[in-house]
Structure formats: C-alpha cells, structure tokens
Structure 1
Amino acid sequence: MVLLTTKIVQRSALFVSFGGLVTTFITTFLPLWKTMNSDLNEMENWYEGLWHTCIFTEEVGLHCKAFESFLALPPHTLVSRVLMCISIATGALGVAAAFFGLDGVEVGASRPKLKRGLLILAGVLVWISGVTTLAPVSLVAYVTVVEFWDENIPDVVPRWEFGEAMFSGWFSGLLLVIGGSFLFVAVCMGDHQMQSRHSLSAREDRPRTQHYLKTEVL
C-alpha cells in the first residue's frame, strides 16, 4: 500500500480513462454493432453499425453503404448516435482536465485548489462519458434481443445478432466509469495527504514546555 501514492492513482486513472475514450471512439464508427448470417446464402454476412450497413462476400469482399437519410433512421439508432457523440466529447474534455490536474504538471502548480477542482471536473466528465457509452450499447442490445425473439416475424427471415462492437462498447464504458472513479479516489487521497501535512505542521509549531524534576536536599 506504500507504493499506492496519489500520483500513481492519478496517472492510472488518466491511462484507464484515455484507453476507454479511444475504445469508445473506435466503437462509435465500427459497422459491427449487429451481424446477420442468412441460411439461404451462407457466403454472405451482413453487418450494421450506427453509420453504415455492410455486406461481406468472398467474391467482392466487404462493401459498406452509409445510411441515406438521417430522419429515416430507427429511433434507437438515432439516440445511440447522439449519446455516443456526447460520450466522445465529454470523455475528451475529461481526459484533458485530468491531465492538467495531475501533480507534476507545471500548469497551475502553485494553485492546489485549482488542481483539485480540475480532477473533480475530470471525474464527473469521464463518468458521464462512461454512462453515455453504456446506455446506447445496452439500448441496441435490448432492441436486438426483442427483435430476435419476436414471434410475429417468420422463422425464415434472418435475425440480427450481437456484433463485436457491442462488447467493445461495454468494455470501453466500464473503463471510463473505472477511470472516473479512480479520479475521485485520487482527490480523496490528496485531501487526506493535505490534512496529514497540516496536522503534522501544527504539532511541530506547538511550543514545547519543559518539565523540571523537583528534588529536595536532605
């Protein structure tokens, strides 16, 4: 536990948050949110994301096409787009605030309250980024499950299933939530360290009283 200092926790939180942000950015634009294999033609694989629909065949390879109309998107896809964009924006701001709030960064080095405020702001922004990543991924997963088990759809019609991007989205959202939590832990550790320094300095500033042993000469 001695090695777990405030600086190490701060840098670990920044590293985890940055990793979650990069994974969220990649997940947003991957066309692998949903996948579908047709029993009639096993050589074709369909993929769908928030921005593209793709088909993979051995003759042509991967061919993707963007959604033509923004207004014609399904509601869950439109909401997921907005939330993922919010996640990227808040995550980027949170990582930037966390970087400038690190101990050892020269910006604001003489203003510890500013550093503390930046870390708290970074924790809140990274938390929001994590929640806005987990929400759209879970929403698309819910819609996919409902449509997969819909009895009104004939059994001959192929069904969409989970793609790889769904799991990377859950992973990135958890990384962002963990990174934001580590930032709050770093703030608490910094406050405890500051209180310990104040209490130690107060003890050293106390005037020392000398006690004399009274002896009697017989």
Structure 2
Amino acid sequence: MAASMIQLIGFMLSMLGQFLISAATAIDMWSLQDRSFTVVTNVYTYSGLWNTCVGTSYGTTQCRPYFTILGLPALLQAVRALMIVGIVLGAIGCLIGIFSMKCLKMGNMEDNIKATMTLTSGIMFLLAGVCGIAGVSAFANLIVQSFRFTTFADGGFSSFGGAGIGGLSGNLTPRYTFGPALFVGWIGGAILVVGGVMMCLACRGMTPDRNTAYDGMAYKAASHHTIYKSDTRPRPAINDSYKAQSMEGRQSNQRFDYV
C-alpha cells in the first residue's frame, strides 16, 4: 500500500513538473528589460526562446519571431535543445508511468514488470528535470553576464557637450533581468526531479521478495513396492491337433497345439 501511494504521488508531481517546463518553454518572458534607470517605463521589451516582444503598460504587445537559426547565439540554441529534450523525456516517462501504475490492472501483467516500468519512468523524469534545470540555468547565466558588462552608451555626457548631473544624463544600453519563465522552469525541473526520485523509491517496494519461503505442499513418493504375481488361473487346452506335411508331401506325426 505504501509503495502504491508513493508511486501515485511521484507520478502526479512529475506530471505537474512536466506541465511547468512545457509552459516555461512556450513563455516569451525569459529575459525582461530592467527599467531601473529608464525614464519612460510605459514601453519595455522582453524576449524568450522563440520571440522578441515589445510591450506597453496599456496591455498591448507586439512580438517578432526569430526568422533564422544560423544568426542566433550558440547558447540560445543549446538551451532550446535542452528544453525540448526535457519535454520529450518527460512525455515518454508519463506514458510509461501510466501503464506501470499499481492501482491499474493491465491484463496479466506481473508486479516485477510494473516495478521495472516504474523505475524506467522515474529515470526518465529525473533526466527531464535535469535537462530543464540545466537549460534555465544556462540562460540565466547568460543574462547575468550581460547585465554585469552593460555600461553607458556615451560615457555619461549630454548632447550639449557638458557633463550631466551625476553622470546619468547619457543613454543607457538596455539591460535585461530574469523573467517569470526562468522561475517557472526552475520550479518545474525541481518538481520533476522529486517526482522521479519518488518513482524510483516506489520501484523497490513493488519488487517481490525473493527470499520468501514457498508455502507449498511437498510431494512424497509411495514407499510400497509393486509386486507382480503370476497368473495361476488354468488355461483351456485345445485338443485339436494338426498333422503337418513334410516337403515330400507325406504326413508327419508332429502335432502343434495352439493355446
């Protein structure tokens, strides 16, 4: 009963994590423009794995997809690949996990087969969670590096030739910070890892114990020996005789009794 509950909880958590990393892959807010030093905050830009968008405070949004693959950074393509691989592995794990549920009867499937399928599903969920966390972390590292090395575009001097007040009159290059999709991806990957671990633990409880003695009936051969007795009943004698002829055609006195 405990193994069945752990398997069910692990499967439900894995399904939730699979939904979260799929949603994070589709969301465009992976990097969001930092508006700390901007005067006009009504317009901001954000981007994801597939589109770059411009939004306003009035709720209007216009997005432009990446029309080329060759012009994109290699790290962005690697993040795309990691997220897609994580989604595919999670989908395969969900499919295997459905058929391995102990509470469902699938024909004459034995418990050891279901235990093996549960272990396979848990490993799939673990790999999917690791891929999701790795992809989101790689993109977050790219944002951190870009944020640190972003400086003033014109050195802090105004267009009139004089220095601005506090050196803040120059135009800032747009800096980007973490978007909501990163946190969704991190949470989904962590839930997938937890669900995969629980599925692997449930596999041990579903495996039958091989050391259990077999409570069967022992077969004991018969101890007496079979004795064969000769038949003492009298046989009827046939008195009819047959006189055989010799090769020369003469009769002989030899008799043959047929019993």
Instruction: After TM superposition, list the pairs within 5 Å mapping 1:49-198 onto structure 2.
Output: 49-58=48-57, 61-107=60-106, 109-150=108-149, 153-154=151-152, 156-191=172-207, 194-195=208-209
The 2-side partners of 1:128 and 1:112 are apart by 24
Q: Secondary structure at the match of 1:195?
A: coil
For the pair shown, the structure with the greater C-alpha radius of gyration is: 2
Task: Let me know the Cα RMSD of the aligned residues.
Answer: 2.0
Equivalent residue letter for 1:24: I
Q: Which runs of 5+ in 1 are unaligned?
A: 208-218
Worse-superposed segment, 56-65 or 115-124: 56-65
Q: Which is richer in helix?
A: 1
The one-letter code sitting in structure 2 at the alignment partner of 1:195 is D
Residue 109 of structure 1, CA deviation: 4.3
Residue 68 of structure 1 aligns to a residue in which SS? Answer: coil
Q: Deviations over 1:90-136 (max 9, x none)?
A: 00000111111111222254322221111111011111100110001
Residue 32 of structure 1, aligned match among 29, 33, 48: 29
Shift of 1:144: 0.6
User: Which letter does structure 2 place at the counterpart of 1:36?
Assistant: Q
1:20 is paired with a residue whose SS is: helix
For 2:134, give the aligned amino acid: A
Alignment TM-score, normalising by the size of structure 2: 0.71
Number of the residue aligned with 2:245: none
For residues 87 and 108 of structure 1, do their structure 2 counterparts lie closer, same or farther at Cα, with a shift above 3 Å needed?
farther
The whole-number CA distance in structure 2 between the counterparts of 1:20 and 1:58 is 31
Q: Flag the 1:109–1:168 CA change in 2: closer, same or farther, 3 A.
A: farther
- Determine if the alignment matches structure 1 residue 44 to structure 2 residue 43: yes
Counterpart CA distance in 1 for 2:78 and 2:126 is: 19
For 1:12 and 1:109, locate their aligned partners in 2 and report how far apart those are by CA, in whole Å. 24
Deviates more, 1:79-88 or 1:103-112: 103-112
* Partner Cα separation in structure 1 for residue 34 and residue 55 of structure 2: 10
1:174-207 Cα shifts (integer Å, max 9, x gaps): 010001000011012223xx329x63x54x5699
Residues matched between the structures, number:
198
Q: Percent identity?
A: 25
For 1:216, the equivalent position in structure 2 comes to none
Between the aligned partners of 2:95 and 2:121, the Cα distance in structure 1 is 8
Residue 87 of structure 1: CA displacement? 0.6
